[in-house]
Amino acid sequence: MPNVKVNYSTLLSSSTILETSVQDAKPKTQNLPDIRQRIESLGKNHDNCLSPLSDDIEYDLDKAITEVSELANDMYITVNLFSQAELAIIDNIKIESTGLDNALQTQYTNTFNTSLTGYDYEYYQSLFDKTISLATSERSKTTMAALFLATSFPHMNYFWGGGHDKIVEGLDPTWGEDKTVTSPNSSTTGTTRPNSLDCSGYVSWALKNGGYDIDKPMSTWELEKIGEKVPITSAASNNVQVGDLAAMDNHIGIVVKVEGNEVTVSHCSGNGGMSITKMDTTTGLVTEDWNQEAESRVGQPYFTDIIKVNYKD
């Protein structure tokens, strides 16, 4: 198998071409608020003739500042997710990504404390559409959808039964709204919390938005039957790929990266909500978890099986 080393740090991390371009633009955008302030002051000093004009210019500058910031953020997120999901499935090439993990982890960390309640639906839906449109296959689209909610969207809490009343294409505008947990057999049943997804609701949503043939939300047990189940400790010999599922007793997630003897799984957990967990497939133990509320997983067994999903392409 050829070994192609792709140094994503030249594109994605702290000294990247992309970030350098953004840094080059920053002095220009940083000047805009100063210019705006001077115009505002000028307008106040000359109310009779310049105030209406200064109001218009202030509005245009505010809009430009916002749009430049959003564009830079959109570019960064989209490139990161596309690189992870699309390049991870190139046949017969091992991708050694340098910098990509750091870029995605930064995004995950930045969104961890961002409230889901009252999230900007139109902005994130537009960003999701841009991101998912870049992928070329069901497998990579599913992976990108899973990564988007985990790393580039306000942090999703775990909601028992969440995502099982319906399956939506795109984002659900009711996420984050107060909702009573009605599904039985949970300590949270009867409580009110922000509407979100549970583990199987998350996986079902990602599959649907990746184009997989699924017309309703599926339970963990149903999802475990959509492909061949193999032990996670045999992942290397069973050609496990991104887009496959990782399962354990009553819990399920999506493999978003395979590198050497390590698989990275994105899942919505009862412990801290949306999580990114890395596992050593030779030992079956967790090596790293980005969820700051789930550090106790490290060094412990967690996912036990891989479900090899048969995508159309």
Q: Which of 157, 162, 177, 116 is nearest to 291 (CA)?
A: 157
pLDDT in tens, 112-128: 989 999 999 998 998 89
Q: Which of 131, 95, 81 is nearest to 241 (CA)?
A: 95
For residue 2, what is the DSSP state?
A: -
**What share of the chain has pLDDT > 90, as a percent?**
51
pLDDT in tens, 163-202: 999 999 999 999 999 999 999 888 899 999 999 999 999 9
Strand partners, 205: none
Q: Mean pLDDT throughout 8-12?
A: 40
Which range (84-88, 157-161, 245-249, 302-306) has the least confidence? 84-88
3-state DSSP assignment of residue 170? coil
Q: Is the pLDDT of residue 301 over 90?
A: yes
Q: What is the pLDDT of residue 292?
A: 87
Q: Which of 144, 122, 126 is nearest to 212 (CA)?
A: 144
- How far is 52 from 297, CA to CA, in rounded Å? 60
Contact 159, 198 (CB under 8 A): yes
Indicate the angle between helix axes 138-151 and 100-112, nearest 10 degrees. 50
Top pLDDT among 62 and 258 is at: 258
Rg (CA), the chain: 22
Contact 111, 149 (CB under 8 A): no
Q: What is the dihedral of CA 54, 59, 65, 71, to 10 degrees?
A: -150
Instruction: Give the length of the chain.
Output: 313
Residue 91 confidence class, pLDDT cut points 50, 70, 90: very low
Domain parsing of the chain, residue ranges: 3-309
Q: What is the pLDDT of residue 168?
A: 95
Residue type, 105: Q
Q: What is the pLDDT of residue 105?
A: 85
Region label for 154, one of left (φ > 0), alpha (ψ between -120 and 50) or beta (otherwise): beta
**36 phi and psi angles, rounded to 5 deg:** -60, -45
Contact 113, 155 (CB under 8 A): yes
Q: Is the pLDDT of residue 162 over 90?
A: yes
Strand partners, 279: 263, 286
3-state DSSP assignment of residue 21? helix
Rounded to the nearest integer, the mean pLDDT of the chain is 80
For residue 241, what is the DSSP state?
A: -
Which range (7-11, 23-27, 76-80) has the least confidence? 7-11
- How far is 86 from 109, CA to CA, in rounded Å? 22
Q: Mean pLDDT throughout 42-68?
A: 55
Contact 165, 195 (CB under 8 A): no
Residue 90 confidence class, pLDDT cut points 50, 70, 90: very low
**What is the H or E stretch that residue 64 is in?**
helix 47-87
